[in-house]
């Protein structure tokens, strides 16, 4: 009798061994895929960590209500076999080869740095596009100073460039032209506005990397609001350029009468350039999911993403096709007035 029981136990254990081995393998073996899914969504009219997402100082602001939410895609890396399978069957995530998100041979830190720079660039473009739409004046600002730039210890991000060698600087192109017209080694007199005061700085130009015969400051110039007005974007740990459209709309909403969103829940996505052109983004289906789950009723879709978006539209979410910042504002005004707006349908 005892021998029979032992044989049955051994038979059961023999049957469980492959399952146990598979279980161990499934939790240890990493797969060459990442999972994409709905990420966090932020109201650009609201606050994050006690700060306004789009903070404007030195200007009269109009009260806002409702939501103008920017949306993100969550990327989950380092998946084991079981985790990948779980995401795949969830219906809310997709698996893509890891190499499409993290190219082989490129350090993760370099990829993250590039994504963060794209996000910073989108903030600058969003500010300029909104100011141009509102016909507000802009000035030339230093957006970035290179680590090895000739201007590294002289100019700072946020400096307003007033003049170069006595010539007024009205656009970023003015600065580039003034610098590149001089040979390396030239001493350049730069008047900047910093901390509400003008000061003169002297910079010895280096050689431009792509043309050693031309002078080089090593700064990235951009446009920004005319002081005392200032705009700050307060979202950290977000990468890529796809929040540009929603940042521009938030800034316009704060600086103009009425509510662009009609006091309702609008979300969206899209890159933006300084002229207000809206460009396509990735992961549209996951951004729409995140928006709808958060309560959005209307979603602004870049025109180039419309085909993909209408194939995976969450129930109850109205899609509005957007090609320009001006068009986005017109569409929201039309919706608020009970009229039709361009659709992806």
Residue 226, token pair as written in the block: 């005319």
- Please name the residue ranges forming H helices in 36-171: 81-90, 98-101, 108-133
Residue 40, token pair as written in the block: 């966090």
Question: 321 CB contacts (<8 Å, ≥6 apart)?
Answer: 301, 303, 306, 342, 343, 344
Degrees to nearest 5, angle at CA 313 with 308 and 317:
135
What amino acid positions are annotated as catalytic residues? 242, 287
Query: What size, in residues, is the chain?
Result: 345
| Helix (H/G/I), strand (E/B), else coil: 82 | helix
Rounded distance between C-alpha atoms, residue 71 and residue 41, angstroms: 4
**What spatial distance separates the first Cα and last Cα of the chain, rounded to whole Å?**
73
- Please report where in the chains the tokens 């003049």 appear, as a residue: 163
Q: Which of 285, 255, 235 is nearest to 122 (CA)?
A: 235
Beta carbons within 10 angstroms of residue 125's beta carbon: 24
Question: 32 CB contacts (<8 Å, ≥6 apart)?
Answer: 97, 98, 99
Q: Is 262 left (phi over 0), alpha (psi -120 to 50) or beta?
A: left
Cβ(102)–Cβ(77) below 8 Å:
yes
Alpha-carbon distances, residue 91 vs 31, 98, 214, 289, 323 (angstroms):
19, 19, 55, 11, 30
Rounded distance between C-alpha atoms, residue 292 and residue 314, angstroms: 7
Sign, Cα dihedral of 45, 51, 54, 55:
positive
Beta carbons within 10 angstroms of residue 312's beta carbon: 11
């Amino acid at each position: 009798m005892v021998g029979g029981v032992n044989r049955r136990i051994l038979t059961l254990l023999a049957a469980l061994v492959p399952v146990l081995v598979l279980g161990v393998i499934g939790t240890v073996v990493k797969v060459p895929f990442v999972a994409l899914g709905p990420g966090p969504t932020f109201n650009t009219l609201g606050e994050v960590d006690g700060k306004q997402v789009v903070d404007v100082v030195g200007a009269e602001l109009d009260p806002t209500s409702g939501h103008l939410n920017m949306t993100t895609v969550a990327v989950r890396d380092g998946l084991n076999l079981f985790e990948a399978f779980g995401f795949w069957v969830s219906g809310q995530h997709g698996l893509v080869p890891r190499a499409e998100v993290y190219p082989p041979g490129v350090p993760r830190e370099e990829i993250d740095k590039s994504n963060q720079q794209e996000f910073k660039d989108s903030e600058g473009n969003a500010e300029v596009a909104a100011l141009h739409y509102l016909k507000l004046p802009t000035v030339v600002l230093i957006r970035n100073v290179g680590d090895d730039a000739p201007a590294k210890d002289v100019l700072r991000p946020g400096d307003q460039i007033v003049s170069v060698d006595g010539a007024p600087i009205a656009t970023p192109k003015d600065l580039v032209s003034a610098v590149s017209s001089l040979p390396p080694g030239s001493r350049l007199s730069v008047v900047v506005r910093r901390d509400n005061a003008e000061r003169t700085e002297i910079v010895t130009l280096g050689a431009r990397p792509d043309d050693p015969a031309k002078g080089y400051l090593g700064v990235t110039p951009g446009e920004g609001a005319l002081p005392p007005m200032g705009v700050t974007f307060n979202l950290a740990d977000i990468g890529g350029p796809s929040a540009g459209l929603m940042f521009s709309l938030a800034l316009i909403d704060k600086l103009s009468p009425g509510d662009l969103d009609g006091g309702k829940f609008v979300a969206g996505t899209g890159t933006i350039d300084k002229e207000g052109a809206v460009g396509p983004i990735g992961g549209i289906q996951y951004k729409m999911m995140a928006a709808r789950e958060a309560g959005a009723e209307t979603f602004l879709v870049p025109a180039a993403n419309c085909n993909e978006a209408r194939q995976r539209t969450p129930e109850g979410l109205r899609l509005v096709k957007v090609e320009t910042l001006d068009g986005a504002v017109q569409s929201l005004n039309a919706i608020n007035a009970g009229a039709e707006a361009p659709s992806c349908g």
